[in-house]
Chain A
Amino acid sequence: MTAVIVRLVAVASLMFALLAAELAATFAFPGWGRGGVAIVAATMVGVAAVGFMDLGQEGATVWLFAAAAALWLIILLGLGSLDPLTRTLYLTINITP
C-alpha cells in the first residue's frame, strides 16, 4: 500500500507543479503566451487520466473508449474551429443614397 500512496503523492505533486507552471506561463513568461498555457493544461489532463484514473493499467476496451473520446473531440474542435480560424473578414463600405 505504501508504494501506491507514494505514487499518488508523486502524481499530486506533479499536478501542483504543473499548475504553478501554468501560472508562470501566464504571468512570468509572457513569451510562452496562450500556447504555453494550453500545452501545460493538456499535460495536466493527461497526468490526471494516467495518474488518478489508472488509464495505463486498463485493458484494450477502456483504451478504445478513451481513444474514441479523444478522436471525437479532435474532430469536433478541429473541424469546428477551422472555419472561424481560417476565415478572412474584409471591410465593406455601405453607400446609402
Chain B
Amino acid sequence: MSDAEAHEFQFGSAERQHEAAISGMWLFLATEALFFGPIFLSWIYARHADPSAFDAGSRHTALMIGLTNTGLLLASSFTYSVGLACIAFGSRRGMVIWLAIAWALGAAFIGLKFGVEWRMDLKEGLFPGPNFAIHGPARSGAQLFFAFYFFGTALHGLHLVVGLGLVAWIIFQAERFTAERHSPVRVVGLYWTFIDIIWLVLFPLIYLIGRAS
C-alpha cells in the first residue's frame, strides 16, 4: 500500500495521521483521569470523616473476588498488548485470537463484579439506606464507604462495557487492519489499559486500605 493510500486526505502522511490519533486518545484519557479524580477525592473526604467506621465498611467487601478481578484485568491488558504486537507484525489471525481472549477476560470481570459480587452485597443488605445491614457506631461511615463502592464500581463497569464494545468492533473489523495501518487497534488498546489503571487505583481503595489499618 502506498503512503497516499495509507492515510486520509487531511493528513500530510500516514505517520502524522497515526500521531494525531494517538495524541487525541491521550488527551481524552487526560480528561477521563480528571473525571475519576473527584471520585478518589470523595474517598479521601469520606474516609477522613470517620476512618474506623469507613474501614469497617471496607472489611465487608469480598476480597477474593476483587483480587480475582484484578488478575483478570491485568491479564486482559497483557493479551490485548500481544494482539497489538501481532497486527504490528502482520498477523491478523493472531490479533483476533488475542483480542478475543482480552474481550473474554473483560467480560469475566463484568460477570464476577455485577453477577456475583454485587448480588452478594445486595443480598447482605450492604446498599446504603434504611435497610443497611451494618448497625452500631460504624453504620454511618460504613454507608459512606458503600456509597463510594457502588458508585465507583458502577462507573468503572460502565467504562469497561464501552471498552468491550470497542474491542468487539476491532475484532469484527479485523479485515481493515494491516501491519502498516492499525491505529484504531492501538487507540482502543490505550483505552483498554486505562480502564485497567482505574481499577488498579480502585482496588486498594475498596479492598486493601481498610484492611491495612
Contact = CB atoms under 8 A, between A and B. Distances in A.
Which secondary structure characterizes the binding site on chain B? helix
A77 B71 contact: no
Which secondary structure characterizes the binding site on chain A? helix
Interface residues of B, number: 46
Interface in B139-156: none
Contact of B27 (A25, A27, A37, A65): A65
B193 A34 contact: no
A30 B22 CA distance: 42
27 contacts: A1-B89, A8-B82, A8-B85, A12-B78, A16-B74, A27-B211, A30-B212, A32-B212, A36-B212, A45-B200, A45-B201, A52-B189, A52-B193, A53-B189, A58-B26, A59-B19, A61-B23, A62-B22, A65-B23, A66-B26, A66-B30, A69-B30, A70-B33, A76-B41, A77-B44, A80-B44, A84-B45
Interface of B: 19, 22-23, 26-27, 29-30, 33-34, 37-38, 40-41, 44-45, 48-49, 67, 70-71, 74-75, 77-78, 80-82, 85-86, 88-89, 189-190, 193-194, 196-197, 200-201, 203-204, 208-209, 211-213
